Chains A and B, each alone.
Chain A
Amino acid sequence: MVAEDGCLAFSRFGLGPRPGDLNRLGSDPASALLDEIADPTSLFIDQPDLPDSVDAYTELRRFQRARQLAKLQSTASENAAAPKPMDALLPKAVIAANGKVTVPGVPSPEDLMNAEIEARLDRVLNVPVGFGERLVAFWTNHFAVQAAANEIVRGLAGAFEREAIRPFVLGMFGDMALAVIQHPAMLTSLNNDVSVGPNSPQGRKTGKGLNENLGREFMELHTVGVDAGYTQTDVTSFAKVLTGWTYGRGENEPENYGRFVFHKFAHEPGLQTVMGKLYPQPGVDQGLAVVADLVTNPATAKHLAAQFATYFVADVPPAALVTRLADVFRKTKGDLRALTTALVKSPEAWSTPASKLRTPQEFLWASARALQFRPEASFINRALGDLGEPLWNPPSPQGFKDDAATWLAPNAMTTRVDVAELVASRAKGLDDPRDLATDLFGAGLSSDTRTAIDRAESRNQAIALLLMSPEFQRR
């Protein structure tokens, strides 16, 4: 093994080493990565205390309703809310002086999200390398939902990742894409829940119409990519195909709360043509057919291979690597285990210099692992917010960028130094920073970094320097 390969396994492909991890890795880093993900269920997060989308959505509705009732009451509004069946079992919401609303026994969207963050942290601190979690991070970001969109997305973002991403990271891309496009978090994040076929019964009755958001992004971001040669007409047609794809949220269908449903009465009737192919199927089958074609379109293979290689290897990945990954994706019809294996077994994945920078999330997780430090959810939210990569809340449906130019930026770097100092002051570790640096990087530790750590004026400063060293930051 080349000395750097062990380090690369942790930086390029993993979440960074914990003390002892580099030694435990063994002499074949590529095999160690594949061993970690041999069992696909090891990526699942299945905890009884984390509600699925159905339960979480039901709770969110109760929370919102309790808050609404309390607010109407506190303003002594004359328009008292019309009673609803759910009101009977609803605890009374408490509105604090600062406006914060709590409903006893009912989690707020932020409570739900913080519980999800705690579960991620358990995973982050306990996986041997973190390759599986990095794959999850890539696909979650690929199919980005935006917590900023609304409370429902915030409350469901974690469940979305557990239900639509994790089960398929080593399965078929098409299965993941379908789970995503039918998940309440995505349906509401990209507004398909309010898209109505103009000529559907509901459209005729209400005058409501199309919302193209999900249709466009599914083509542009999730599958074939913006250069695939489709037109605005294709986008509009696909949006029509997707009308009626929503989730149970109406007062009249509480049994469907938080589940994908197809509302025939909102579906645009008729044939549609998408990217030159005619889709005559009625109802939900029409959308299933288009999705099945998009996910196996050769343009999707090219688009995803480039993204995958860019995320893991380099901002401008070697062309041969991208071509090879695209071929694998196409030949296997989107088998993500095959894609992942091909990446790890590609010589370019190991020989390309580490020119990317860890993203803020990768940086925080790697710091937590290196120092065996468990930050509180509030600390994570605050740090990742300041660093510019808040969990499940990217600035656009495109997700967070992963290129060096985005993160290796002046203000981002000074903030990173502050976070490094803060983490260093809060992490309890007993290790001598010099021993820790050797343990984490082995022969990969540069003499410059070693000297800087040796000369630090305090343990805290030494830890901050270690966390900010090029070998810790670059990947």
Chain B
Amino acid sequence: MKSPFVTDAMLCSSRRTFLAGAGALTAWAVMPKYAFAGQRRDPRFLTVILRGALDGLAVVPPVGDPDYPALRRDLAIGTSGFGSTVTLNDFFGLNEAMPGLYGLYKKGEALVVHAAATGYRDRSHFDGQDVLETGMTGPKMSETGWMNRLASVMPRGDGVRPISGLAATPTVPLILRGDAPTLTWTPLDFKPAPSDTLNRLLDLYTHADPKMAEVLMAGVSTEMLAGDGTDPMKRAGGLAASFKQLAAGSAKLLLQEDGPRIAALSYDGWDTHTNEGAETGRLQGLLAALDGAFSALADGLQPVWKDTAIVVLTEFGRTAATNGNDGTDHGTATTAFLFGGAIKGGRVVADWPGLKPSQLYQDRDLAPTTDVRAILKGVLRDHLGVGEPTLTTKVFPDSIGVKPLDGLIA
């Protein structure tokens, strides 16, 4: 089949070329201008959502907790026999896959909050992400996201137009949905996810439609043979480049004179039920890619770095103990990261709940001791100047009992 308007590349394309070209279809939303003339500070605020539930204990392991090694067994990085952590303080280590974040931490520009969780206490990804993004007390309570509501209440300085948010996704995610203007952007060859969708489909087909399982398996194997996925380094390289590109592009947009001032980025792939690979493997690759994205944000936002605060969140944590597949299942509390020139970093903020069986939430998860909304309220109040009453009623409704965390901003 040959045709002048169907190019060879299209006909013979691998999955890669299709994905590569498809990003080109993403268009800019109309971008309202915002004048900052005369305003002393012009702060930037970013949220990075890690979808799939980040295993906080594998990123910032409590190496000083005597119960940690036994609980984590083969995932107990930072304990004897596992070398892959650097020291944050005498109790917490940091996964060695994140040298960029470690550098920021050393400079006092990165901070870890441990044992943090939203108000959501069940274990559904959708509902967990819903709560994280709406900022409500439970799932399905709002059609608008807290960052969008934030945009509408942020002090405008001398600006006359509304603050616009940036969604570094093809469509507007829940966190930015609402009346305030939002523009979307993704890199031209953005690969949506380092997703394990293929594995999940293989599992589904194996149960529900063996023929489809057989054929899909053959397809996956062929791609690997064709060099599209065998080489783990190559794959990690692609992942890292894709993560970084999203961060670098977003930074550029946030630097624009009249561009957006707040942004939400999402990275998928953190749902590590099997072969988690915290030291070498999947999670390590994801963390390295994420670290590259952090560095790209730091580099790209350098001119405004001192007025930049970035919060990295996930919907919930994972089980304190490993499961039977060298992975972890859905849990509760986890880590949140804050970094940026505006952050008073170099610290781990944690009211550590302990890892003894009696100290675990429902006998299985790291217990939550810090509400994610407390972190956000602290940052929004001290970095963006949003008043507490507004935060408690508009941005995070019904959060009167959740006090802002003090001293997060330098």
Given A382-B18, A395-B1, A428-B172, A414 contacting B51 (CB threshold 8 A): no
- A422 engages B268 (CB within 8 Å): no
Give A385's nearest chain B residue, CB to CB: B10
Is A340's beta carbon under 8 Å from chain B?
A: no
Given A378-B25, A382-B10, A428-B171, A457 contacting B18 (CB threshold 8 A): no
- B124 engages A454 (CB within 8 Å): yes
- B170 engages A448 (CB within 8 Å): no
Is B347's beta carbon under 8 Å from chain A?
A: no
**Cβ of B2: which chain A residues have Cβ within 8 Å of it?**
148
Is B356's beta carbon under 8 Å from chain A?
A: no
- A426 engages B215 (CB within 8 Å): no
**Cβ of B198: which chain A residues have Cβ within 8 Å of it?**
414, 417
Is B350's beta carbon under 8 Å from chain A?
A: no
**Cβ of B172: which chain A residues have Cβ within 8 Å of it?**
428
Q: In chain A between 436 and 475, which residues have their CB closer than 8 angstroms to a CB of chain B? A: 446, 448-449, 452, 454-462, 464-465, 468-470, 473-474
One of A376, A378, A433, A465 near B126 (C-beta < 8 A): A433
Which DSSP category, helix, strand, loop or mixed, fits chain B's interface? helix
- B223 engages A414 (CB within 8 Å): yes
Is A292's beta carbon under 8 Å from chain B?
A: no
* Residue from the set A154, A412, A419, A452 with the largest chain B CB neighbour count within 10 Å: A452
Give B143's nearest chain A residue, CB to CB: A430
Q: In chain B between 1 and 56, which residues have their CB closer than 8 angstroms to a CB of chain A? A: 1-3, 5-6, 10-11, 13, 15, 17-19, 21-22, 25, 51-53
A442 to chain B, nearest CB (A): 17
B81 to chain A, nearest CB (A): 30
Is A408's beta carbon under 8 Å from chain B?
A: yes
- B170 engages A418 (CB within 8 Å): no
One of B89-97, B206-214, B336-344, B367-375 at the interface: B206-214
**Cβ of A385: which chain B residues have Cβ within 8 Å of it?**
6, 10-11, 13
Interface size class of A (residues with CB under 8 A): 35 or more
**Cβ of A432: which chain B residues have Cβ within 8 Å of it?**
126, 140
* Residue from the set A412, A415, A418 with the largest chain B CB neighbour count within 10 Å: A418
Given A110-B5, A154-B5, A421-B195, A414 contacting B15 (CB threshold 8 A): yes
- A413 engages B207 (CB within 8 Å): no
> Contact flags (1/0) for B172-208 with A, using CB distance below 8 Å?
1000000000000000000011011110110111011
Which DSSP category, helix, strand, loop or mixed, fits chain A's interface? helix
* Residue from the set A147, A154, A462, A468 with the largest chain B CB neighbour count within 10 Å: A468
Is B129's beta carbon under 8 Å from chain A?
A: yes
Is B235's beta carbon under 8 Å from chain A?
A: no
Give B223's nearest chain A residue, CB to CB: A414
Given A460-B268, A473-B212, A417 contacting B222 (CB threshold 8 A): no
- B219 engages A413 (CB within 8 Å): yes
> Contact flags (1/0) for A326-346 with B, using CB distance below 8 Å?
000000000000000000000
A412 to B223, CA, bound (A): 12
A426 to B13, CA, bound (A): 21
B334 to chain A, nearest CB (A): 14
- A461 engages B170 (CB within 8 Å): no
Is A87's beta carbon under 8 Å from chain B?
A: no
A454 to B271, CA, bound (A): 13
- B208 engages A465 (CB within 8 Å): no
Is B218's beta carbon under 8 Å from chain A?
A: yes
Is B169's beta carbon under 8 Å from chain A?
A: yes
- A457 engages B53 (CB within 8 Å): yes
Is B394's beta carbon under 8 Å from chain A?
A: no
Is A425's beta carbon under 8 Å from chain B?
A: yes
One of B125, B221, B223 near A457 (C-beta < 8 A): B125
A273 to B184, CA, bound (A): 67
* Residue from the set B2, B6, B15, B222 with the largest chain A CB neighbour count within 10 Å: B15
Given A382-B21, A449-B208, A461 contacting B203 (CB threshold 8 A): no
Is B349's beta carbon under 8 Å from chain A?
A: no
One of A110, A394, A418, A424 near B18 (C-beta < 8 A): A418
> Contact flags (1/0) for A210-243 with B, using CB distance below 8 Å?
0000000000000000000000000000000000
B274 to chain A, nearest CB (A): 12
- B203 engages A452 (CB within 8 Å): yes
Is B108's beta carbon under 8 Å from chain A?
A: no
A304 to B18, CA, bound (A): 36
**Cβ of B193: which chain A residues have Cβ within 8 Å of it?**
421, 425, 458, 460-461
Is A383's beta carbon under 8 Å from chain B?
A: yes
**Cβ of B215: which chain A residues have Cβ within 8 Å of it?**
408-410, 413
B8 to chain A, nearest CB (A): 11
**Cβ of A412: which chain B residues have Cβ within 8 Å of it?**
219
**Cβ of A426: which chain B residues have Cβ within 8 Å of it?**
25, 170-171
Is B71's beta carbon under 8 Å from chain A?
A: no
Given A421-B192, A457-B268, A468 contacting B201 (CB threshold 8 A): yes
A14 to chain B, nearest CB (A): 21
Give B49's nearest chain A residue, CB to CB: A458
B388 to chain A, nearest CB (A): 31
A68 to chain B, nearest CB (A): 15
A155 to B338, CA, bound (A): 56
Interface residues, chain A, with chain B CB atoms under 8 Å away: 109-110, 147-148, 154, 376, 378-379, 382-383, 385-386, 390, 393-395, 408-415, 417-422, 424-428, 430, 432-434, 446, 448-449, 452, 454-462, 464-465, 468-470, 473-474
Interface residues, chain B, with chain A CB atoms under 8 Å away: 1-3, 5-6, 10-11, 13, 15, 17-19, 21-22, 25, 51-53, 124-126, 129, 140, 143, 169-172, 192-193, 195-198, 200-201, 203-205, 207-209, 211-212, 215-216, 218-223, 268-271
Known: A411-B219, A458-B129. 12 other contacts (CB 8 A): A148-B6, A390-B6, A393-B3, A395-B1, A414-B216, A417-B197, A422-B18, A427-B171, A428-B171, A457-B195, A458-B51, A461-B197
Closest 5 CB pairs of A and B: A410-B219, A148-B3, A457-B271, A457-B52, A410-B218
